[in-house]
Each structure stands twice: as structure tokens, then as C-alpha cells.
Structure 1
């Protein structure tokens, strides 16, 4: 009987020790999980804060760059106007059909003034709606079907008209807003190509 009693006591002590050890390990594990969760939450919050800060800085940079982009576009338009003026043929102020001295004797033909090749007025090309980012042939056909067949027409849409047009596009419903077509068209229509490139890239 004494041997049985000692064996049972030792077994009970081992079981009690195992139980205490298990409780201790479980507590440590739960604490570790809580610490990891807090760390993950803090890291996610920090990442979101950094992303929001980056977006604010990007928006501020665009706003700071906009006056410069407008000035560059204005200079481009003025330069193009000067080139057109310089290349237009000058008006004739004196007739050139009078023969030169001795022409009647020598049988020389009168001088005839002809404009030089390539000196006609330069007409700025109106961008096609396919120049807008996101507008391919099928989307362009859908826009043309509802009357939006030019960049300036899209640029003149107000918010309500853009919504109405979006609703008529069938498979392309919502693309005017999603692709920011009115904003794109406004920049191209006003000749603000530098700002357009900064926001959307080179026009297609």
C-alpha cells in the first residue's frame, strides 16, 4: 500500500507541474499574440499615414506646378503664332508684272511673284477623341454615336450632362467619369499640354 501511495503522489505532482507549465505557456503565447497584433495595427496605421502624407505632397506639387505649366503652354501658343506669322507670304505692295529694264528689247518675260512652297498658314490640328487616355476605337465609336465626336464637345460637358452621357454608353457605362474624360478634354482643348502630360502622360 505504501508503494501505491508514493506512486500516486508523484504522478499527481507531475500532473500538477504539467498543468502549471501549460497555463504559463498559454499565458505567454496569448501575450505574444496580443503584442504582435498591436504591432501589426501600429504598422498599418503608420503606413496609411505615410500614404496619406504622400498623396497630400503630390497634390501640393501639382498645384505648385500648375502656374508653370500654364506659362509653358502660353509660350508654346505664342511661339506657334509667331511661326505662322513669319511663314505667311508677305502682301505685295508694288506690281511685279512690269518688265525689267530692257526686257521688251531682249524678249524677257515679266517677273511673276509666286508664293514659296510650304509658306501657307499653319492650322493647328484639333486632337481626335482617341487622343484621350482610355479611348480606343470601340469606345470612340460609342461616344460618336451619342454625339460626342470631338474633344471640345466632351470638354463642354457639365456634371449632369456627363452623367447622362455615361448612362447612354451601354457597355462603356461609367467610363466618362472613371477615365476623367471631361478633365482630359478640357486640358487638351485649352492647349494645356504640359499640364496634361503631368497628369495623364503623353496624349494618345
Structure 2
């Protein structure tokens, strides 16, 4: 059973890393050519997985039997959210500063700057700041702290936190992909 658990943990890690590594390997998109992208995707996946466990426990009634474990999981999720926020800040900050992969020069640097600008101040910036930062990171962090301090299950709080984490994970993926592709398509035309 322990060997199977270790194998499944490695498989889960591979799945969490896969999308970030795949996007990072596409050297034609400067925004994605950073080691922070796989870190960001992995931390987001960990948080989304924790949120699903917390929500499933509430919906199945298992939360009352596992209140202590779920409280600890809320603490872990809060820590992962802090790490995800830090990775997001470094990812966006380095992109805004023009720091990317080994090839960021000339028109590629222009595309990186345009992508970073699109991410934090473009047409979909409301989704980045409202959907990812506020609803996907800040609100679930606060709710996880509340859940960790409670001694008994609070289904409404846990379900709202889970919904926010999942919406934030979707917003992060959409924003990163859209911000990376849009400037390149605009420069190509």
C-alpha cells in the first residue's frame, strides 16, 4: 500500500507540473518562458485539490467525523495559497521587469512587456485582480484561517472557500494563457 501511495503521489506531482512545463517549453511565448510558471501551476493545483477534498467532505457528511483533519487541511491550504500568491507576484513582477527566458531581447522583450501589461492592466485585468487575486487567493485564505480555528465543521464557509479556490484556479489559467497569446497574435498581424 505504501509503494502504491508513493507511486500515486509521483503521478499526481507529474500531472500538476505537466501544464506549466508544457507551456514553459513553448519558447515562442515569452511570458511563459520562466521557471515560475510550473511552480505557479503546481501550487494552484495543490490548492484546488485541497479545496475539492474540503468540499467533498462537507457534501458527503464526512466533515463531522474528520473535523480535526479538515482543520489541518485548511491550514495547509492557507500556506499553499500564500506560496501561490508569492509565486504569482514573482511571475508577474519578473515579466513586468522584462525578465524572462534566455532569449528575451528585441521584439521578444516587447512581446513579454505587452503580455505582462495585458495580464495586470489589460482588458482582462479585472479577471486577474478580481477573479484570481481577490476571489481565488485573498478570500479563500481568509476563509481557510477561519476554518482552521473552528472546532466544528462549517459547511457554508468550506463550500464558499472551495468555490473561490476553484474559480481562482480557472481564472489563473485563463489569464496566463490569454496574456501570453494575445500580444504575440497582435504583433504577428
More helix by share: 2
TM-score by structure 1 length? 0.27
Structure of higher RCO (CA pairs closer than 8 Å, 6+ residues apart): 2
Larger Rg, first or second structure (1 or 2) = 1
TM-score by structure 2 length? 0.28
